[in-house]
Structure 1
Amino acid sequence: MRTSNRQSKMCKREPGLASVLKAAKIQAITACEEAFQYDRWNCSLIFNKKAKRSIFNKVFRETAFVHALIAGSIAHAVAKGCASGELYKCSCIGSFRNVSSQWKSDGCGDDFRYGKKVTRNFLEVKYAGTDQIAEILKQDVSVGIDSIGEQMREVCKCHGFSGSCTTKTCWKRLGPFNSAMGLLKKHYHHAIKKKIVNYTTKRAITPKVRRRMEVGRNTLVYLQKTPNLCVSTAGRVCKDRPNCATLCCGRGYIVSKRSVSSRCRCKMVDCCFVQCDTCVEEVDHFTCK
């Protein structure tokens, strides 16, 4: 995904945005690779290295997921950047109000509304056109952003003498990005395949066509069936024997022994220190043929 002129201008206009976007990219890659570590698709942007088949050549299930993942990660990183002060165009202004005879102040929270706005502008959702593929990608981007928004929670902290709660500071906070990956992966597995009506990317959507394309608001949409991923799983590490049966596509797997070190027999020493031994255990290591 190359940066457009418009995206470059956004980064120049807002100091700190480039570093926030870099952090969003890293957290998206890390969370995705961890979540799909033992799946046939391991979050690679290439289906087949020999054929160099990119997931962006068409709108596969994986393509839809990556668009949602990128959108969610940007929205999350920007919202966090507002609260931490990395971004200057979004502010954190608290207000006070009386709640049940207690003063409740709004603390400095994650500005998800601004994160959502920046994400849509940066991914140029508004400027993608009115063709059918653009509508599908808009839907996938929205699913990613909404998955992050569902993690928003109110966090409060009490202030007062002797443990009383005369003043309560509250703010909205997003959970860790990994906490949203479970929901995003669920959307990946429940994605719906749609057909292009009167296929041409240049043709505008009529009301009749729009009704035929409509799906649930929180549903990922893709157009083409994923190619056979079994050709890319040779040499992959699988979790256990049941996982190998799926990941290795019936080719079998190699079992080897590996030594794993861990802390064990921990005990308290001299009141306030924890002392542990180092234990070495032989474990099975599975690799697809």
Structure 2
Amino acid sequence: MCKKEPGLSNIILTAKQQALTACEDTFKYDRWNCSLVFNKRPKKSIFKKIYRETAFVHALIAASIAHAVARGCASGNLSRCACFGSFKNTSWHVRGCGDDFKFGKRFTKNFLEWKQAGSDQIAEIVKQDIIVGMDSVGEQMKEICKCHGFSGSCTTKTCWKRLGPFNSAMGLLKKHYHHAVKRKLVNFTTKRAVTPKARKRMQLDKNNLIYLQKTPNLCVSTKGRICKDIHNCATLCCGRGYVTGKKIVKSRCKCKMVDCCFVKCDTCVETADLFTCK
């Protein structure tokens, strides 16, 4: 697939990096901080089973790939997709090159081996989580327009669809993480095909992430973690308490305009409290 599309490799790498960065930033002060293993134990991979965290990562990866591919289409880095077509309006002609999110979703499904995933219940759950992830990005799609005409009139309007920054979808993805629904497999087997009853139950949860197993205790892995503040320590440190220290914070300050068009700032150094879990 990557050989047929020269620009694809870089886009996938971009998707991987933006997913990792956004996840670590979003869960920086949570007990689970986007680690792919539980309690720093390599054999406790989150992909061994379908935990809440596994469902989230499936959604996150799908969301990031769909977002990056859609953006790649708009920038002209992919030849297999095209700009949005034009359409008629009663008062103006609308045309623009936007983020092709439909192609991004279609590509993501194929890239994640959607068709090869099978028809068993676990495959259905993974598909569900992938869709929730992509839809979280799609909800950030907005129409941007620019007017053309004499004296500020809008005789012609150019419009295009644009996704928000990937970080703008993380709030919704994290909300899905906290509201994920735990389900049981029918007859506790992974091989049985999805029954009509099970499928109907899953359809009721079509807007939610689905997981199967309870997350292991994460408190072991929070030792030495830095809290956002003392209130965050109460949760992050799991009742073990915390150590208070100081840290040096550098920031831009005393900014002023110089020579018409340049901003010059000083660097201010301050000390701030640092809270570390015992």
Q: How would you bin the TM-score normalised by the shorter chain?
A: over 0.9
Note if 1:216 corresponds to 2:205. Answer: yes
Within 5 A, what are the aligned runs for 1:19-58?
19-50=10-41, 52-58=43-49
Distance 1:129 1:274 in 2: 58
Q: Which residue in the other structure is 1:134 paired with?
A: 123
Q: Which residue in the other structure is 2:77 paired with?
A: 86
Q: Which residue in the other structure is 1:4 paired with?
A: none
Q: Which residue identity lines up with residue 145 of structure 1 in the other structure?
A: M
Note if 1:76 corresponds to 2:67. Answer: yes
Distance 2:123 2:43 in 1: 24
Distance 2:259 2:11 in 1: 45
Q: Which residue in the other structure is 1:5 paired with?
A: none
Distance 1:130 1:276 in 2: 60
Q: Which residue in the other structure is 1:105 paired with?
A: 94
Within 5 A, what are the aligned runs for 1:1-289?
10-50=1-41, 52-92=43-83, 94-95=85-86, 97-100=88-91, 103-289=92-278
Unaligned runs of 5+ in 2: none
Note the C-alpha offset of 1:96: 5.2
Q: Which residue identity lines up with residue 11 of structure 1 in the other structure?
A: C
Distance 1:162 1:33 in 2: 49
Alpha carbons of 1:130 and 1:273: their partners in 2 closer, same or farther (altered >3 Å)? closer
Distance 2:14 2:277 in 1: 33
Are the aligned partners of 2:246 and 2:274 in contact in 1 as well (CA < 8 Å)?
yes
Instruction: Provide the TM-score with structure 1 as the length reference.
Output: 0.91
Note the C-alpha offset of 1:19: 1.4
Q: Which residue identity lines up with residue 239 of structure 2 in the other structure?
A: G
Distance 2:63 2:273 in 1: 36
Instruction: Give the match's secondary structure for 1:135.
Output: helix
Note the C-alpha offset of 1:159: 1.5
Note the C-alpha offset of 1:271: 4.3
Are the aligned partners of 2:84 and 2:98 in contact in 1 as well (CA < 8 Å)?
no
Instruction: Give the match's secondary structure for 2:254.
Output: strand
Note the C-alpha offset of 1:255: 1.2
Distance 2:112 2:58 in 1: 9
Distance 1:131 1:98 in 2: 46
Instruction: Provide the TM-score with structure 2 as the length reference.
Output: 0.95
Alpha carbons of 1:98 and 1:226: their partners in 2 closer, same or farther (altered >3 Å)? closer
Are the aligned partners of 1:104 and 1:170 in contact in 2 as well (CA < 8 Å)?
no
Query: Aligned residue pairs: how many?
Result: 278
Instruction: Give the match's secondary structure for 2:88.
Output: strand
Note the C-alpha offset of 1:93: 5.3
Distance 2:258 2:125 in 1: 61
Encode CA deviations 1:163-210: one digit per residue, 9 max, x unaligned. Answer: 222211000111000000000000000000001111222211221332
Q: Which residue identity lines up with residue 12 of structure 2 in the other structure?
A: L
Note the C-alpha offset of 1:286: 1.2
Alpha carbons of 1:189 and 1:270: their partners in 2 closer, same or farther (altered >3 Å)? same
Note the C-alpha offset of 1:273: 3.9
